[in-house]
Amino acid sequence: MNLIRNLIPKKREGNKMTEKKKVKPTKVLDHLVHEDPFSKGVAFCPGCGLELLLRFIPQVMGNDIVITGTPSCSAPVLLGQNNQSWHSLSYFGTLMTGAAANATGLARYYRKAGIDNTVVCFNGDGTAADIGFGNLSGAAERNEPFIYICYDNEGYMNTGIQKSGTTPFGATTTTTPYGAAATQGKNLRRMNLGLKMAMHKIPYTATATLSDLDDLAKKLKKAKEMKNQGFCFLHILAPCPTGWGLAPHNTIEACRRAVKSNYFPLWEAINGRIRMTKTVKKPKPVATYTELMKKFAHLSEADLQILQDDIDYEYCLLGGLSVLEAECQLPLSEED
Ligand SMILES: Cc1ncc(C[n+]2csc(CCOP(=O)(O)OP(=O)(O)O)c2C)c(N)n1
Ligand code: SF4
Ligand SMILES: [Mg+2]
């Protein structure tokens, strides 16, 4: 009998089992209710976090969103090449300096024309944290009715992996190389873009990443629901295997370890009031995250400690703000 069983091809045995077993859809699949509007083969590198994110957003939010964005790794695919399109979404390409100003114009036009559209201003960290930060902050302060998504790959990847404001301490980039004694990677700490935006007290701010898709999907949907109340900002960690020296199959693992080490905590803020959406009971050392990629390979124990201290400090800050925001009432203005 055993002999006969061994003769059955493994694949067929597996198929038989899946036929009988009832497959319960995961929570994530419940969110994917729209078609993937992108072509099956597109011009991203293997394992690119940006590609996974870009495909996920319309499948959750709907294909009727209007995307606007800037020169970056997303542009070749979003803009199309040689008069050919890689997707069926509406897309409006803008300059890095004025991304949020352009999105403001689009969103205001739709509002004035009485068209219920969702404008998604989709940009890398180079635009969001550095080159286009001024008008991003202005749009947030004016509470413009659109969603701004920053996919953070921690550098200017499309132009050759230069450092940005969100590049972490110690990371190697082409402008913060590792080599001679004076060049040990970035010698500054990263800016906390998510917190900076939450401090604008906009209707909705959140962080998210690709290892926690249920959390990400809920935040995308919430932003869509809340965009009529005003500005919504999502800060999403999207690994870049090419620029980080990360194996393409480790993209999701990197996101998972970023969350589990509090390198990239998951939280949301409504009108500036912060709430953790995932609490890590026993955070892992940041080394469990950095060991996955070459950009941190040269870090000494002392360097790693600086990075760890920065992460611990930012997590404390986040925790402190969440307690404060829950306990303190904002003073009312005269109009209130
Ligand atoms: C004002 C301005 N400065 C520089 C550039 C050149 N440039 C084109 S793409 C790019 C990188 C953008 O980085 P990021 O926004 O982080 O997107 P990524 O390439 O990482 O996807 C740069 C600097 C530009 N287009 N406009
Ligand atoms: S360089 Fe990085 S962000 Fe750009 S397409 Fe390749 S993996 Fe993606
Ligand atoms: Mg970038």
**Amino acid letter for position 29:** L
| CB-neighbour burial class of residue 273 (10 A; exposed 0-12, middle 13-18, buried 19+) | middle
CA of 148 to the centre of ligand 3 (A): 15
Q: Which of 73, 107, 112, 65 is nearest to 89 (CA)?
A: 65
Mean pLDDT of 66-87: 93
Q: Which pLDDT tens digit goes with each residue over 196-246?
A: 999 999 999 999 999 999 999 999 999 999 999 999 999 999 999 999 999
Question: Confidence class of residue 15 from pLDDT cuts 50, 70 and 90?
Answer: very low
User: Would you state the structure tokens that stand for residue 78, as one six-digit string?
Assistant: 């979003």
Domains in the chain: ranges and CATH: 27-327 (3.40.50.970)
Does the pLDDT at position 183 exceed 80?
Answer: yes
Tell the residue nearest (CA) to atom 4 of ligand 1: 96
Does the pLDDT at position 10 exceed 60?
Answer: no
pLDDT at residue 325, as a whole number: 65
Portion of the chain with pLDDT greater than 90, in percent: 81
d(CA 86, CA 66): 15
Q: Which pLDDT tens digit goes with each residue over 31-48?
A: 999 999 999 888 899 999
User: Would you state the structure tokens that stand for residue 36, as one six-digit string?
Assistant: 């993937």
CA of 235 to the centre of ligand 2 (A): 17
For the chain, the average pLDDT equals 91
Does the pLDDT at position 19 exceed 90?
Answer: no
Closest ligand 1 atom to Cα of 243: 20
> Per-residue b/e over 79-101, b at no fewer than 16 CB within 10 Å?
eeeeeeebbebebbbbebebbbb
Q: Which of 147, 53, 54 is nearest to 100 (CA)?
A: 147
User: Would you state the structure tokens that stand for residue 43, as one six-digit string?
Assistant: 């011009």
Does the pLDDT at position 330 exceed 80?
Answer: no
Residue 218 has φ and ψ, to the nearest 5°, of -60, -40
d(CA 70, CA 6): 57
Closest ligand 2 atom to Cα of 153: 3
Rounded alpha-carbon distances, angstroms, from residue 130 to 92, 137, 166, 191, 253: 21, 11, 9, 10, 28
d(CA 143, CA 270): 13
Closest ligand 1 atom to Cα of 73: 21
pLDDT at residue 83, as a whole number: 83
Cα torsion 323, 324, 328, 330: sign: negative
- Residues in the ligand 2 pocket, defined by CB under 6 Å: 44-45, 48, 50, 73, 153, 157, 240-243
Q: Which pLDDT tens digit goes with each residue over 141-152?
A: 999 999 999 999
CA 310 and chain centroid, separation:
20
User: Would you state the structure tokens that stand for residue 79, as one six-digit string?
Assistant: 């803009």
pLDDT at residue 335, as a whole number: 60
Which of the 8 DSSP states describes residue 81? Answer: B
d(CA 242, CA 48): 8
Which of the 8 DSSP states describes residue 128? Answer: I
Query: Which among 45, 53, 73 is the best mutation to test ligand 1's pocket, defined by most ligand atoms within 8 Å of the CB?
Result: 73
Question: Confidence class of residue 259 from pLDDT cuts 50, 70 and 90?
Answer: very high
pLDDT at residue 26, as a whole number: 66
Mean pLDDT of 161-175: 98
d(CA 128, CA 100): 9
Of the ranges 14-28, 54-68, 215-229, which one carries the lowest mean pLDDT score?
14-28
User: Would you state the structure tokens that stand for residue 12, as one six-digit string?
Assistant: 């067929």
Mean pLDDT of 166-170: 98
pLDDT at residue 175, as a whole number: 97
Q: Which pLDDT tens digit goes with each residue over 98-129?
A: 999 999 999 999 999 999 999 999 999 999 99
Q: Which of 163, 170, 168 is nearest to 302 (CA)?
A: 170
- C-beta of residue 139 within 8 angstroms of C-beta of residue 104: yes
CA of 331 to the centre of ligand 3 (A): 38
Mean pLDDT of 6-10: 36
Rounded alpha-carbon distances, angstroms, from residue 181 to 48, 108, 171, 177, 305: 32, 52, 15, 11, 19
Higher pLDDT, 84 or 139: 139
pLDDT at residue 157, as a whole number: 98
